[in-house]
Amino acid sequence: MTGLIWPPRVVIEQVSQRIAGEIVMSSRPGSTMRKWREIFGASQLEVAHHMGVSPSVVSDYEKGRRVPGSSFVRRFVEALLEIDAERGWATVSKLARTFQIHYLSAVIDMAEFEHGVPVDKIVEVVKGVPVNSFIEDLKVYGYTVVDSLKAVLSLAGNEFFYLLGATAQRVVVFTKVTTGRSPMIALRVSTVKPAMIVLHGTRRLDYLAAWIAEAENIPVVISVAESVDAIVKSLRGLASAPQ
């Protein structure tokens, strides 16, 4: 699995929220900042470099000579994550297990959008070819990228719900698809359904999959993007884009 995909965005967000929350709520935020910097094995010089400040500024905050605001805390946590990314996400991976962050092994990436994204924009960024007609003004508010082979082998029927994250009004991207029959049957039997489906890897859609797309009245597109990495990168770009 590539560095782009692991860890899933949902894991990174939950780890960063836990760290930032502890710093903000601490009676001694500077000491807490220092604790987390040491947990990540980062020097003040490294953190300062990633934050674009001098090491003395980081030192002042850690020693309590300055009180960090929410913006500074966010930049501080982002710096720790950037450093960990350069080292292969070793610390975040450990923290995910320590915090018992739940995510399904079949989920490659997941995130919420800060605002509604039109389905035609999703079609554009995933290089999609529509299978059926769709509502022009429909918007989605998040995405989940799924390894369809792992999903078929590991997901229980009631776990399909977890693919939907914070809202069912999202696009679910199934990768490693051959004909599209399996993910579309899973969609058909699920009581909670996403707003949009993207199938990546198939060049010939099964007739039953096409029929289900029409019957469920859910936009389904076949992505011809060059790789799963490219899809994840494009969707992450949408998730981080300003409103």
Q: In this structure, are 155 and 230 located in the same domain?
A: yes
Q: SS3 helix, strand, coil % of the chain, rounded to 5?
A: 50, 15, 35
* Angle value at C-alpha 27, between 21 and 31, nearest 5 degrees: 80
CA–CA separation, 218 and 197 (whole Å)? 7
Of the residues 67, 98, 129, the one at which a domain ends: 98
Both 140 and 83 in a single domain? no
Residues 77, 142: one domain? no
Region 87-102: mean pLDDT is: 76
The CATH number for 140's domain is 3.40.1390.20
Provide the pLDDT for residue 154.
Answer: 59
Helices (H), the chain: 9-25, 29-39, 44-51, 55-62, 70-86, 90-98, 119-125, 148-154, 181-189, 207-216, 228-240
Residue 233 pLDDT greater than 50, yes or no: yes
Q: Are residues 230 and 127 in the same domain?
A: yes
Does residue 164 sit in the same domain as residue 209? yes
Query: What percent of the chain clears pLDDT 90, i.e. is strictly above it?
Result: 45
Single out the residue in 98, 127, 149 at which a domain terminates: 98
Cα–Cα dist 85/79, whole Å = 10
- Is residue 4 included in any domain, yes or no? no
Please say which residue of 98, 115, 146 terminates a domain.
98
Please tell me the total count of domains within the chain: 2
Poorest-pLDDT segment among 128-142, 155-169, 175-189: 155-169
In which domain, by residue range, is 42 found? 9-98
* Least trusted range by pLDDT, from 5-19, 91-105, 130-144, 178-192: 91-105
- Arithmetic mean of pLDDT over the chain: 84
Mapped onto helix, strand or coil, the DSSP state of residue 12 is helix
* pLDDT confidence bin for 200, thresholds 50/70/90: very high
Q: Mean pLDDT across the stretch 138-145?
A: 89
173 and 211, same domain (yes or no): yes
Question: Is residue 135 domain-shared with residue 177, that is, in the same domain?
Answer: yes
Query: The whole model's pTM is what?
Result: 0.60
User: pLDDT digits over 4-42, tens only?
Assistant: 456 777 778 888 988 999 999 999 999 999 999 999 999
pLDDT confidence of residue 3: 41
* Residues, the chain: 243
For 8, which DSSP code? Answer: P
Higher pLDDT, residue 223 or 184: 223
Are 72 and 111 in a shared domain?
Answer: no
pLDDT higher than 60, residue 73: yes
Same domain, 146 and 205: yes
Least confident of 10-14, 57-61, 199-203, 212-216: 10-14
Distances in whole angstroms, Cα of residue 27 to Cα of each of 33, 68, 225 = 12, 12, 49
Task: Give percent above pLDDT 70 in the chain.
Answer: 86
